[in-house]
A and B are shown apart, each in its own frame.
Chain A
Amino acid sequence: MIDRTVPQHQLPSISTNISAAMRVSDVVKPWADRLPDHKAAVDPNGSWTYRELAGIISHTADWLRGSGVRAGDRVMIVGENCREFAAVLLAVASLDAWPVPVNARLSPREVDAVRDHCEARRIVYTTSVSVHATEHANRHGAMPEDVGDLGRTSLGPLNENVKTEPIDADIGSRVAALIYTSGTTGLPKGVMLTHSNLLFSAGGAAKIRSLNSEDRLYGILPLSHIVGLSIVFLGALLSGATIYLEPRFDPVAARVALERHRITVMLGVPSMFSLFLQYAKMRKLQSFEFPALRIISCSGAPLPPAIKSSVESLFGLPLHHGYGITECSPNVAQVRIDQPPRSDNSVGPMFPGVEARLVGPDRQPVPVGAVGELWVRGPNIMKGYYRAPEETAAAIDAEGWFNTRDLARFEDENLFIVGRTKDLIIRFGFNVYPAEVEAVLNAHPAVVQSAVVGRTAEGDEEILAFVQPSPSSHLTEADLAEYAAKRLAPYKRPSHFLFVSTMPMTPSGKIAKADLAKIADDIRQKV
């Protein structure tokens, strides 16, 4: 492996001590004062310096306030990665309103479910790089607005019937982002993350990677996703680095960007790195030439050892692995870049400041080295689920321990994730709860019932739907694919629909998903 560690002497790094009185929007100003002409954010349409970004956040906050946004309001931002999305998010946070970042690739049904649950005062659609954001803006009757140097965005109608949430006296404890994940019941679940949550994670991750103002981060993970928001975006701005925002991933564009922009740090999910391998195979490349690149890191899903070693060979760099979840802002564990590269699939030691315990079904600690359910505690743990006190109480106990519902073990201080106690599929780094997909399919008039399972596939999981059609129907795979495409985001849509006349059932009357998962594996060669 090549040692591309940048000498750290004299390079500006994290500018400020993160205090309890700091908002996420406060990360920009120190660099606007110190390196005003340094590029802060770049996207396919242009770039902003730190001075420009600071001014645009302030101006956008004024525009939002003038548009009726109050402290304690929820403001949705619907779009894909671009500078406007980033600036609006920070402007909303600066007002003590709650940014609700939403991926524009969600279906109308999904976007509207979030809007209705959070009772958004306003929705801002960042349309410059996203045809999907434009489609949502049009169907919601949003109007295009030119907002000074921010550029053109679309603003949805004012919802006058919403109440503001109380403002916590402690700035750090105020909500800085409300991030929705699909819940186990198929209904949207809003994760309330505070300014302190996000800055703790962003600052810690930046320190682990020795980020500094000379770094150029590839901002490919969505700003609506916790890793893209806290670790990459806020981590970059805390460090005075430059973030190159890309609306969506493809390995060809990524290869060009890494070379052209001399990217130094790229964080992705395992499936992105798998696609790099497929790209290299198509181009008959044995290795990449990215001399500036010093860190590649992935999280969001299990990393198969074969993929890890192939990626490391292709990039000539260790592929650092980490583990986190939205409710933990997201860092729980991270392989350290200053330690010898690992050949196994450990997610590394615990993130500094985060505690862990592994317990058995009886909630008692398991013996050293044994597998147990992973509970974590620290400044990274969410404030709770929005408007869901029972779900919050079920996830966080009275002592502040959060149940990840993942199964894990420790080998020395290194954590290994070995399974899940939750019914979850991780597709392209996104959580997909089968219950949500099943609820959509079951609503089809020709479907009696369905069961959705995951199946490993080239560093990712693909989604298979077993469907029991009504006896007289002539339902086809294409019918269901079209039906799903209108109601589910692309990453939630099944890759295959398998028709069955009856579902295997457990003795307690539930669909036997373990049997279906085995069937899915057995027929791997056929579909």
Chain B
Amino acid sequence: MQMQATEIEQEIRNFLTETFLFGRSEALNDDTPLLGNVIDSQGVIELIAFVQERFTIAVDDEEVTIDNFASVKSTVAFIEGKLRSK
């Protein structure tokens, strides 16, 4: 069954909050820049591994761009797109 955008968003928010923000969910606004800000150098690997495993999709290196992972919103949109094209 296809996941709803709200479910994807909640999963992403939980992952980012627990992995990078010491549980401080209030530090993550809709527009908070992710790559190069919330997500550090090592975090990119953790993000890809999480997204691939949790949503059972393949994320190519070329897709790990500032645009696709600019914010929680764009990350959700990217995952939705991948799920639709599965």
Q: With an 8 A cutoff between CB atoms, is A272 at the interface?
A: yes
For window 374-407 of A, CB contacts with B under 8 Å fall at none
A482 to B41, CA, bound (A): 19
Overall SS of chain B's interface? loop
Q: A252-B61, A275-B41 are in contact. Are A482 and B24 (CB under 8 A)?
A: yes
- Name the CB-closest residue of B to A247: B36
Q: With an 8 A cutoff between CB atoms, is A279 at the interface?
A: yes
Number of residues from B at the complex interface, CB < 8 A = 19
Beta-carbon contact of B44 and A251 below 8 Å: yes
A248 to B44, CA, bound (A): 12
For window 3-55 of B, CB contacts with A under 8 Å fall at 21-24, 27, 33, 35-37, 40-42, 44-45, 48-49
- Per-residue CB proximity of B57-85 to A under 8 Å, as 1/0? 00001101000000000000000000000
A252 to B61, CA, bound (A): 6
List of B residues within 8 angstroms of A490 by Cβ: 40
Beta-carbon contact of B23 and A249 below 8 Å: no
Beta-carbon contact of B41 and A282 below 8 Å: no
Of the candidates A131, A272, A477, A478, which one forms a contact with B41 in the assembled complex, judged by CB atoms under 8 Å apart? A272
List of A residues within 8 angstroms of B23 by Cβ: 478
Of the candidates B22, B24, B40, B45, which one forms a contact with A252 in the assembled complex, judged by CB atoms under 8 Å apart? B45
Beta-carbon contact of B45 and A279 below 8 Å: yes
Q: Smallest CB–CB gap between A108 and chain B, Å?
A: 15
Beta-carbon contact of B22 and A477 below 8 Å: yes
Q: A282-B45, A478-B23, A478-B24 are in contact. Are A252 and B64 (CB under 8 A)?
A: yes
Q: With an 8 A cutoff between CB atoms, is A33 at the interface?
A: no
Q: Smallest CB–CB gap between B1 and chain A, Å?
A: 28
A257 to B48, CA, bound (A): 18
- Name the CB-closest residue of A to B65: A253
Question: Chain A: interface residue count, which band?
Answer: 20 to 34
Q: A250-B41, A251-B45, A282-B45 are in contact. Are A482 and B27 (CB under 8 A)?
A: yes
Q: A275-B42, A278-B42 are in contact. Are A250 and B37 (CB under 8 A)?
A: no
List of B residues within 8 angstroms of A252 by Cβ: 44-45, 48, 61, 64
Beta-carbon contact of A275 and B45 below 8 Å: yes
A255 to B60, CA, bound (A): 12
List of B residues within 8 angstroms of A251 by Cβ: 41, 44-45
A247 to B33, CA, bound (A): 15
A295 to B49, CA, bound (A): 29
Beta-carbon contact of B22 and A253 below 8 Å: no
Q: With an 8 A cutoff between CB atoms, is A523 at the interface?
A: no
- Name the CB-closest residue of B to A491: B40
- Name the CB-closest residue of B to A283: B61
Q: Smallest CB–CB gap between B51 and chain A, Å?
A: 12
List of B residues within 8 angstroms of A275 by Cβ: 41-42, 45
A248 to B45, CA, bound (A): 15
List of B residues within 8 angstroms of A478 by Cβ: 22-24
- Per-residue CB proximity of A464-493 to B under 8 Å, as 1/0? 000000000000011001100100001000
Q: Smallest CB–CB gap between B26 and chain A, Å?
A: 9
A430 to B23, CA, bound (A): 26
List of B residues within 8 angstroms of A278 by Cβ: 42, 45
Q: Which of B36, B41, B44 has the most CB of A within 10 A?
A: B41
A252 to B48, CA, bound (A): 10
Q: Chain B residues in contact with chain A, CB under 8 A?
A: 21-24, 27, 33, 35-37, 40-42, 44-45, 48-49, 61-62, 64
Q: Chain A residues in contact with chain B, CB under 8 A?
A: 131-132, 247-253, 255-256, 271-272, 275, 278-279, 282, 428, 477-478, 481-482, 485, 490
The 7 A-B residue pairs with the shortest CB-CB distance in the complex, in nearest-first order: A481-B22, A250-B44, A478-B22, A252-B64, A248-B36, A252-B61, A249-B41
18 contacts between A and B (CB under 8 A): A131-B36, A248-B36, A249-B41, A250-B35, A251-B44, A251-B45, A252-B45, A252-B61, A252-B64, A271-B41, A272-B41, A278-B45, A279-B45, A481-B21, A481-B24, A482-B22, A482-B24, A490-B40
